[in-house]
Amino acid sequence: MRSRQAILFFSPAGRSVPDFVTAWVNGKGLPVISLPQAAGVEERVLRALPTLVVIDADSAGDEGMQLCARLKGDAYTAIVPLAVVTNRHATDAVRKWFAAGADEVITPLFEPGEQAGRLDALVTRAERDVAVNPSTRLPGTTEIEREIKRRMELGEFFAVCYADLDHFKEYNDRYSYYDGDRVIYLLSRILHDVVRGMLGKQGFVGHIGGDDFIFVLPIESIAPVCSEVLDVFDTLVPYQYNEQDRRAGYYFGKDRRGQLHRVPLMTLSIGVVTNQHRRFAHPAQVSELATEMKSYAKTQAGSVFVVDRRHDRDHGDEGSGDNEA
């Protein structure tokens, strides 16, 4: 079953769905499923994350408030937006619903138009929040795919740049996951500030997860933007090490067999693919090629960016791309 495909309405008394909810749903192509039991709501939320859960506060009472608290107390189900509707004006009750975790409480104080508008805003906020990486607040994989698809549909010439840290695992092993998270956040800020600072809305930065990032930009901006990213990174990353490691430019770490070897300071590899000489049918194809070029970039020494210059019918050596930092 596909997720986020329905509106769940919980009313133990079996009341009908409020008119403003019905009007709001019309045209969205989403069914409204009325459920009289809290267990049924939880089961459906766990089985297929719905678009929205609406609780009839006037008939649900404490049972509804407990359901709300359970859904919002679970990290998996908490991402589903939850609205409470009531025909009462009681301020204390509204505060209790918000304390239980409700994302929105709609009362008769709001006109029907505003009631529908609040549902729209609630769902939009939820989709935005789910689409970002929680550690960096950058758009995640869903938004990355959407951005690539958008540029493909507009017929733009664009570049997809896949950035990945080198020697990051060894850094985590020597220092800590806390320090590793700080480096990932630092990289997210560098990418965001450079790309958005140089290109404004023409640039896009997303976070796949871990130390993997994607940024999308016009083809003519590849060299200046990637060069600036690498320059800033190479300037700042040494300060993430202690003074001894920073001055030496390396430290000794153990490989998988437990043998000591010299580990250099972290560098950044960027693999770049464009649609200048290729025709992409789907964002997944772009992702596959960007991953391939990123892997090739990681075979080069130091911080580098490598641009894929191959044509659709040219399957020559990957190294035909730029590989200069």
pLDDT digits (tens, 9 = 90+) for 227-240: 999 999 999 999 99
How many whole angstroms separate alpha carbon 1 and alpha carbon 189?
A: 38
Could you say which DSSP state residue 30 is in?
-
Residue pair 321/308 in contact by the 8 Å Cβ criterion: yes
CA distances from 128 to 132, 139, 157 (A): 7, 8, 27
Q: State the pTM of this model.
A: 0.71
Q: Which residue has the higher pLDDT, 269 or 319?
A: 269
Domain 141-320 has what CATH class?
Answer: alpha beta
Share of the chain above pLDDT 90, in %: 63
Compute the distance between CA of residue 292 and CA of residue 286 in angstroms, rounded to an integer.
Answer: 10
DSSP state of 216: E
Q: How far apart are CA 169 and CA 179, in angstroms?
A: 11
Q: For position 4, what pLDDT does the model report?
A: 54
Q: How confident is the model at residue 279 (pLDDT cuts 50, 70, 90)?
A: confident
Mean pLDDT of 21-35: 87
Homologous superfamily assigned to 7-130: Response regulator (3.40.50.2300)
List, in sequence order, every beta strand (DSSP E) within the chain. Answer: 7-10, 32-35, 52-56, 82-85, 104-106, 158-166, 204-209, 212-218, 250-254, 260-264, 267-274, 304-307
List the alpha helices (DSSP H) in 53-111. 57-73, 91-100
Structural tokens at position 150: 């958008």
Domain residue extents for the chain: 7-130, 141-320
CA separation for the pair 235, 44 (Å, rounded): 51
Distance separating alpha carbons of residues 114 and 118, to the nearest angstrom: 6
* pLDDT computed for residue 281 by the predictor: 87
